[in-house]
Amino acid sequence: MAQLKIAQENAKSQKESVEILDAIVAIEDAHPRRPRCAYAGEMLQMDASLHRWFGDGKCQLHIAVDDATGTIMGAYFDSQETLKGYYHVLQQVLTQYGIPYMLFTDRRTVFEYKKKNTSSVEEDTFTQFGYACNQLGIQIQTSSVAQAKGRVERMFQTLQSRLPLELRLAGVTSIEQANEFLNSYIKEFNAQFALPVNSIKSVFEKQPDDEKINLTLAILTSRKVDNGHCVKFNKTYYKPVDSNGYPVYYRKGTSGMVIQAFDGNMFFCVDEKVYALDAIPEHSRVSKNFDVSPVQEKPTKRYVPPMSHPWKQASFERYLKKQAHRKHQENAA
């Protein structure tokens, strides 16, 4: 094992590094089958399954299953295996049950969430999801062996034999309809097949409030202010505004943190201050040459959340430097 890790550090290409990592994973994951966990919330198995769940095409169903009770604690459809999908599942867990002790997922999958060969932080699902869990105190354990996460694998087999029929009978034809249907279906499914969560001791920590969940399940990205006093995120330019709705100006090159909260609201953190972000439209709504000048509207007050630890840029960047897969990308580049 030690020799493999040394060889991985001295790998001459990313392909060679990945091959050696696979060998290390195979050794680390060699273990016998194990009994269910003793307590509810002790470990949730999380994964996604590509299947023809409804309609003519395939999509991904993301779920989290409690190892002790077999309860589906969160479920969400998306077109692909996405950060959005896993965030929605975790949001359901946090809202309905609380903070679990551990999440157990597929090692190969979590390192391949980001399909494109890019070092873009906001597209790196493993880093973003891992950092959110880190802030909540949730451990993440991974494995590339299917038997190690047998609970969620068998759950997908059961759902694949039942859920498509239920979705067809309900007339579901879109992802939006499917996710709405899951709200009631999962409750009925758990009542029929899972042990009641309150039937055994629970180690879930108290549910966070909605605001903390919304701000923790966020996408964090370091950005610099351009010469137009704006920052760019996902091909859109944004201007920082204060809580009274007035624009805030920083010099070109000022570094800050763009925060896209779970509900989609955008914020910008510079040092110890947080601002709202307003998108800059591609075209003006009115023309000063051809339209009658409208009455100048007063800026409206904006919600600006208080500064919190997950938004500390230095803290997030320290976390980035610890991510092994990002180190391999940087070395390969």
Packing angle between helix 324-332 and helix 14-28, nearest 10 degrees? 160
The whole model's pTM is what?
0.81
> Count of domains in the chain?
3
- Per-residue pLDDT tens digits for 24-52: 545 444 444 567 789 999 999 999 999 99
- Per-residue pLDDT tens digits for 77-132: 999 988 899 999 999 999 999 999 999 987 655 555 544 455 678 877 788 998 99
Give yes or no: residues 140 and 267 share one domain. no
Give yes or no: residues 236 and 102 share one domain. no
Give yes or no: residues 187 and 38 share one domain. yes
- Start-end of H helices in 170-279: 175-193, 210-216
Give yes or no: residues 223 and 207 share one domain. no
User: Rounded distance, CA 95 to CA 74, Å?
Assistant: 10
Give yes or no: residues 197 and 88 share one domain. yes
Neighbours of 211 (CB within 10 A): 12
Give yes or no: residues 245 and 273 share one domain. yes
